[in-house]
Chains A and B, each alone.
Chain A
Amino acid sequence: MKGTNLGELEELVMLTVAMLFDDAYGVAIQKAIKEKCNRSISISTVHAVLYRLDEKGYVTSRYDGSSPERGGRRKHLFRVTMAGQKVLEQTRSMRNDIWDAIPKVAFE
């Protein structure tokens, strides 16, 4: 297992995978990130992040659902694992803790 810390892009991709639930594959994730965050990420980068997450055990994947535009090829679909969910929650609570600890005067 590589380090448990999540990179910013990794977190973003994982959240998107969770959002898309059962239809999370390369192109769909790229589009969702473009829509939600207005960030252009190349398709190869999306794939690279997904496989890295797979290696870390935060997502699982399966092949399903072909379409003619894909030349009859199936989609490589991803889903967040329990471990992934846990690490996401951890990251979020860690952030929340820090947010809570910010004294009011800091952001005035």
Chain B
Amino acid sequence: MKGPAFINWLLERFCDPRLLEGIQGDLEEKLHERAAQTGRFKAKLLYAFQALGFMRLKFLRKNSKSNFHMVNHYFTSAVRSIKKQRVFSAIHIFGLATSMTLCLLMILFYMDQRGMDKHNEHYETTYRVISTEYNENRDRDDRLARSPYDIPDRLKGNFDQIETTSRLRNVRSEVRLQSKVIEFSGLFAESNFFSFFGFELQSGNEPTALQHPNSIVLSEELASKVFGENDPTGQLIEIGEMGSFQVTGVSKELSGRSHVQFDALLSMTSQEPQTTWTGKDAYYNYFRASQVDPTSIEGFLATLRPLYPNDLQAGRGFEVQRLSDINFGTIVRYEIGFVTPNFVFWFLAILAAVIMLSACFNYIGLSIAQSLKRAKEIGIRKIMGAGKKSVIFQFLIEAQVTVLVSWVIAIALLMVLLPIFNDLKVLRDIQGQIDISVWSNASLLLYFLGFAVFIGLIAGGYPSWYVGKVAFQQSLKKSGKKAPGIVLRKSLVLIQYIASVVFIITAIVVSRQSNHFFEMEYGFEKEHLASIEIKDAPYEALRNELLKQSNITSVSLSSSLPALEVVPRIEVRLTENSEPRPVSTFSVNQDFLNNFDISLTMGENFRKGQKPNQKVAMINAAMAQELSLSAAHQLPMTLKSKSGPIKIIGVVEDFKYQFLFVESGPLLLTYEPEKFQYLNIKYANLENHEAEEIIAANWREFDKIHPFEISHYDYEIDDIYAEFEDIAKIVGLIASLAIIIACIGQFGMILHHVELKTKEVGVRKVLGSGVPQLVVLLSRSFYGLIVISLLIGGPAAWFLNKAWTSSIGYAVEVDWTIVTLGIVMVVALASISILWLTVKAANTNPVKTLRYE
């Protein structure tokens, strides 16, 4: 048994040969001893650590001590040359620092999210059963986090390898204690919750806390909201409609993240098992098994499909998901809390990487170009006996120094940006804020430093190799007019331009999309309209009371709020023999159409005093088209659904009934009073706040417990789409960063190009060339590059944006105007630096440039 070869190689390189035998012997002796105690792997790891202990000056080879001075010298000369080329160094450092900031932010985000559920000691062996269903277009499966209640029992009965199972069920309710009412979102959980998911109690007894019916465990936050400083354990509180619960404990806040997020845990025994599982209150089923093949479980679950005929249509099924696949996995709907889907992560990572590479390209391109200027220095170094290696080393160190300076600036920038970033509405809504302290986390700092060194190698690798290989005769020759590495440099610039074109067009599309949402025709009137959530209030009485107010014109009831939520779907057969297809449903009363100013085009509205449970419905124009319903005499017509026939009595014009990311397609407007959740109030001649006071006063008479909450439609709609505006801003910022970096890179290239041609320009001017001709001469090759990049980047951007907008219900059209606008912007931005520098060069007095000839 031997230590790792690499470590031995290091030791042999580093240590004084007179001491080496003793050192290696001792290390290996210890290795053998350790291997017997702790196993080979750990012993080898320890060997490496101990070997690193020998990397001190004491043991260094005597002859290589002089190398130390050499390294010192490299640093000095690196600092000197960075200082000497101020403009170019500034270009490098600016580009590297800004792009590194972005990458560090990504690393932070990743490190923060990666830890999700890692606190669970059974992280590797815990699985969740999820269900799948067709998406709207029936072309692929959607994955849903929920599954039926009885799955765990069936699994346990069939697989001995399953060690334990646990269930969760969503619950949204409110805590009442004396006059306090606080809403919370919680989970029904089984008694093994704490050991299963790796949570701990701050107070209370873990095994029994969730055993008995009507037990509740509060989160620290909720406990302090309800009880303040007092000890909540043992207290009785009222929970929504479910009666009084005893507080059996307070859960400790996790130091990391978990996909299981809750304000309170209620004992599973407090609820009746539900046989349906597709509604809002879904079950989440987990099992733990260390020696089981997930595919065999999936095979067994497939055989269970016939047991759920009502909720599980043909073609739908179950899957088994590892706990470790929940975060950064494929997207799953109805997740308990927020997790980051893999595509979001990859999108952000690729953005950051493209910008980082762009900055590295600048460095590579400019250093090679600059190496020509430094040819004399390199030539003399080589004549004085510097080998290829030491020249390479010198240039690498120069790159590292530049990168490290940028790294320090990047970290400072990060400190400034982090709070701003965390304050973004999008991140607050998805709880994606980064809450890692950078300084207290040693491994994080190591990652950061490793990242900087890695970037230094990428940026400095090729230029230093290039410089190293040039022979000194060549570098000292005066004729070094041809700039080296021209093909490589041009292709780097080309790639940067292509990325800029793609970014800028994407940014335009995203911001157009966000405007599109704001300016969308909703098909209903959103001004002077407010909604309140009906809780326990007798809504009929409240409605009548409100209507007595002179300024309130109408009041209606609905199951959801148009344009703000995604509505549920049911399956109906359009004709006798056709396949059932999903259709959105929306439950309203007879006042809804008038209230929202939606007109009835055919047939009739619900009647006042309509009998509930009678299956009548109105449809929208899109649905009428599907049914090829064109004349009023075809009404009423009957549709088949799972729960019986539905009589269609009227057709209304199309309106945006759901969240605009999803298309508002065919719709059934039903009358199901048990589903009513919102009271929508239309008012006239009132400011929003005046209306609010009037409504609040009336509300108080009927509901003395709940806090009064009202949402004004116009605000609410602006607010929800403002999130998209945030995203547009982020993409815009990144796009401009990419373009700025590309532009300054290009600036450097032109500067160099013009410098090389100074004399040529002088001679041409003397011989009678005009300024326009010279500008064309100098800028020709750059415009060539831009044209090529537009030819590649334009179509690429078009396809890319087509692809993502196609998944949005109401997408902005990606047409040639957007692509043209993007192209014009890129050309204009690039032209600023090209024209500025070339015109300046063309205008220089030839007397100056040719003075010494």
Interface residues of A (CB under 8 A from B): 25-27, 42-45, 47-48, 51-52, 63, 66-67, 69-71, 73-76
Contact = CB atoms under 8 A, between A and B. Distances in A.
B21 A73 contact: yes
Contact of B19 (A42, A47, A71, A75): A47
A70 B25 contact: yes
B24 interface: yes
Nearest to A49: B58
A66 B54 CA distance: 21
A27 B27 CA distance: 8
A42 B26 contact: no
B22 interface: yes
Given A26-B22, A47-B19, A70 B29 contact: yes
B25 A76 contact: yes
24 contacts: A26-B26, A27-B30, A42-B53, A43-B26, A43-B27, A43-B30, A43-B50, A44-B50, A47-B22, A51-B59, A63-B22, A66-B25, A69-B28, A69-B33, A70-B25, A70-B26, A71-B2, A71-B25, A71-B28, A73-B28, A74-B21, A75-B25, A76-B22, A76-B23
Given A43-B30, A48-B59, A75 B22 contact: yes
Contacts of A69: 28-29, 32-33
A71 B24 contact: yes
B56 interface: yes
Is chain B's interface secondary structure helix, strand, loop, or mixed overall?
Answer: helix
Contacts of A52: 58
Contact of A44 (B21, B32, B56): B56
Nearest to B32: A69
A73 B24 contact: yes
B124 to A, nearest CB: 33
Contacts of A47: 19, 22-23, 26, 54, 59
A77 to B, nearest CB: 9
B14 to A, nearest CB: 12
A25 B32 contact: no
Contacts of B56: 44, 48
A18 to B, nearest CB: 19
A73 B25 contact: yes
A45 B26 CA distance: 12
A52 B19 CA distance: 13
Interface of B: 2, 19, 21-30, 32-33, 50, 53-54, 56, 58-59
Given A43-B27, A71-B28, 17 more contacts: A43-B30, A44-B53, A44-B56, A47-B19, A47-B59, A48-B56, A51-B59, A52-B58, A66-B25, A67-B29, A69-B28, A69-B33, A70-B25, A71-B24, A73-B21, A73-B24, A76-B23
Contacts of A26: 22-23, 25-26
Contacts of B28: 69-71, 73
B26 A48 contact: no
A27 B54 CA distance: 14
Contacts of B50: 42-44
Contacts of B59: 44, 47-48, 51
B43 to A, nearest CB: 12
A71 B32 CA distance: 10
A51 B23 CA distance: 12
A11 B20 CA distance: 24
A43 B53 contact: yes
B29 A27 contact: yes
Most buried by B among A51, A63, A70: A70
A71 B27 CA distance: 10
A45 B24 CA distance: 14
A94 to B, nearest CB: 28
Contacts of B26: 25-27, 43, 47, 70, 76
A43 B37 CA distance: 18
Most buried by B among A47, A63, A76: A47
Contacts of B19: 47, 51, 76
Nearest to A52: B58
A47 B23 CA distance: 8
CB-based closest 8 A-B pairs: A76-B22, A44-B53, A73-B25, A26-B26, A70-B25, A69-B32, A44-B54, A48-B58
Most buried by A among B24, B26, B54: B26
A25 B33 CA distance: 16
B53 A45 contact: yes
Nearest to B24: A73
A52 B33 CA distance: 27
A66 B22 CA distance: 10
B569 to A, nearest CB: 67
A57 B32 CA distance: 32
Nearest to B26: A26
Contacts of A71: 2, 24-25, 28
Contacts of A51: 19, 58-59
Most buried by A among B23, B29, B32: B29
A26 to B, nearest CB: 4
A80 B717 CA distance: 87
Nearest to B15: A47
B65 to A, nearest CB: 15
B783 to A, nearest CB: 62
Given A47-B19, A69-B32, A74 B25 contact: yes
A15 B89 CA distance: 58
A56 to B, nearest CB: 13
A51 B54 CA distance: 12
Contacts of A73: 21-22, 24-25, 28
Contacts of A43: 26-27, 30, 50, 53
B471 to A, nearest CB: 44
A73 B32 CA distance: 14
A48 B53 CA distance: 10
A21 to B, nearest CB: 18
A26 B21 CA distance: 12
A75 B579 CA distance: 85
Contacts of B27: 43
Contacts of B24: 71, 73
A76 B28 CA distance: 13
A25 B50 CA distance: 16
Contacts of B25: 26, 66, 70-71, 73-76
Most buried by A among B50, B58, B59: B58
A14 B683 CA distance: 96
B17 to A, nearest CB: 12
Most buried by A among B25, B29, B32, B33: B25
B51 to A, nearest CB: 8
A25 B58 contact: no
Contacts of B53: 42-45
B59 to A, nearest CB: 7
A53 to B, nearest CB: 12
Nearest to A75: B25
